[in-house]
Amino acid sequence: MKIKKIILHKVEIPMVTSFTTAFGTITKKPTVIVKIEDEQGVIGYGESAALPFPYYKPETTDICMLVLKDYITPLVLNKDIKDVGELMNLLKPVKGNSFSKTGLETAVWMITSLTENKSLKEILGGTQNKIAVGESIGIKETKEETLEEVTLRLGQGFKRIKIKIKPGWDIDLVKAIREKFGDIDLMVDANSSYTLEDLEILKKFDEYSLTMMEQPLADDDIIDHSVLQKQIKTPICLDESIHNADDARRAISIGACKIINIKPGRVGGLLESKKIHDICQKNNVGVWCGGMLETGIGRAFNIATASLPNYLYPADMSPVNFFYKDDLVKDSFSVDKEGYIQIPTKPGLGFEVDDRKIEMYSTEKVVVE
């Protein structure tokens, strides 16, 4: 294929609620939508779902706009691109910037899926027809508020509860949840807010049979995580520390984690997600699909990856209306009463993109052709 035209939109849909993690509060979540057109006139959409600030990873929404406009589009426009592998080779000169790359990469997957007339699941090699969903619950003002949200989501069928923790908002909350809800599938996500000096606190989690503890230590570390994993029973799951398949291989080889959270945005797209999945599968390390509060466009790609066989744990895939007042796709996915999302079988995203909504919420637009 040849990409003849690229339109970048910085889009901001008003949020229903803010989302607080150890690194800060997300009150606005602009995102970048990448729309491309090939020489046949086939259109693909992708999403670069970085955060507006560099508190999760260095790359921000504005950085995505800049890198896509000045460095990524010139590498791919009007080039002959055989497949996604070749696309990623063209992008090699750009170091890191995984969220930026993912916006374009996913748009190319969408065109590939439409052109081959096969669903994303099928072209990725997915084997699961539905995926289990968990909710990621942000840090709240009070313990009571958190317990209320857990009650609500368990009642709606969500399969697993993940609570965001930070020093001082951790063991007491886990204890209260265990006391009230018993043996539910429970995990915590620290977003890099502890260090090895907190070993005594981190060891205490062992008493609460958590399914996993996500990213307790630094976002760029695997060494300290391997030291920690040797001293605690709770399986460590890495999020921020894994940027690609080589990171996954190295982390597994030194015992830095027992589980990996794969977010297509964080690792540069679906192809890299699949590579990480494959390495983990070979090493008996289960994976699951994380999220970056994507709109229905980004979420659609996440859902497709989660159909691969080694996605063993529930995904962070709350419906888009938990966070936003509107969406960029017409009929987004829903979570059924048993806590599952059906994986689309249609070619393309599996959901109809609402171009009018993209224009309506667009705050910045760049056209490259």
59 binds Mg ion (CB under 5 A): no
291 binds, among Mg ion, ligand OSB, none (CB under 5 to 8 A by kind): ligand OSB
Which DSSP category does 231 fall into?
T
316 binds Mg ion (CB under 5 A): no
Q: Which is nearer to ligand OSB, 50 or 88 (CB)?
A: 50
* Alpha carbons 119 and 110: distance in angstroms, whole number: 9
- Residue 368: phi and psi, rounded to 5, are -120, 125
Among the options 35, 121, 164, 275, which is catalytic?
A: 164
Q: Six-digit token pair at 153?
A: 């989501």
Nearest to 244 by CA among 285, 272, 286: 272
| Closest approach of ligand OSB to the CB of residue 110, in Å | 20
Question: Is 164 known to be catalytic?
Answer: yes
Do the beta carbons of residue 217 and residue 209 sit within 8 Å?
no
Nearest to 348 by CA among 35, 44, 2, 39: 44
Element (H, E) at 301: helix 296-305
| Closest approach of Mg ion to the CB of residue 215, in Å | 5
Nearest to 270 by CA among 303, 300, 301: 301
Q: Which is nearer to ligand OSB, 6 or 280 (CB)?
A: 280
How many residues belong to the chain? 369
| Closest approach of ligand OSB to the CB of residue 39, in Å | 34
Describe the chain by its helix, strand, coil percentages, rounded to 5: 35, 25, 40
| Closest approach of ligand OSB to the CB of residue 116, in Å | 28
Given the rule CB under 6 A, which residues bind ligand OSB?
56, 136, 189, 191, 239, 290-293, 316, 318
30 binds, among Mg ion, ligand OSB, none (CB under 5 to 8 A by kind): none
Q: Which is nearer to Mg ion, 214 or 247 (CB)?
A: 214
The residue number whose beta carbon is nearest to Mg ion equals 239
Q: Which is nearer to Mg ion, 47 or 189 (CB)?
A: 189
Q: Six-digit token pair at 312?
A: 């063993």
* CA angle (55 as vertex; 71, 203 as ends), nearest 5: 130
294 binds Mg ion (CB under 5 A): no
* Alpha carbons 334 and 108: distance in angstroms, whole number: 25
| Closest approach of ligand OSB to the CB of residue 242, in Å | 12
Find the binding residues for Mg ion in span 224-243 (CB under 5 A).
Answer: 239
Among the options 10, 29, 162, 263, which is catalytic?
A: 263
Q: Which is nearer to ligand OSB, 263 or 275 (CB)?
A: 263
Residues forming the site for Mg ion (CB under 5 A): 189, 214, 239
Catalytic residues: 164, 263
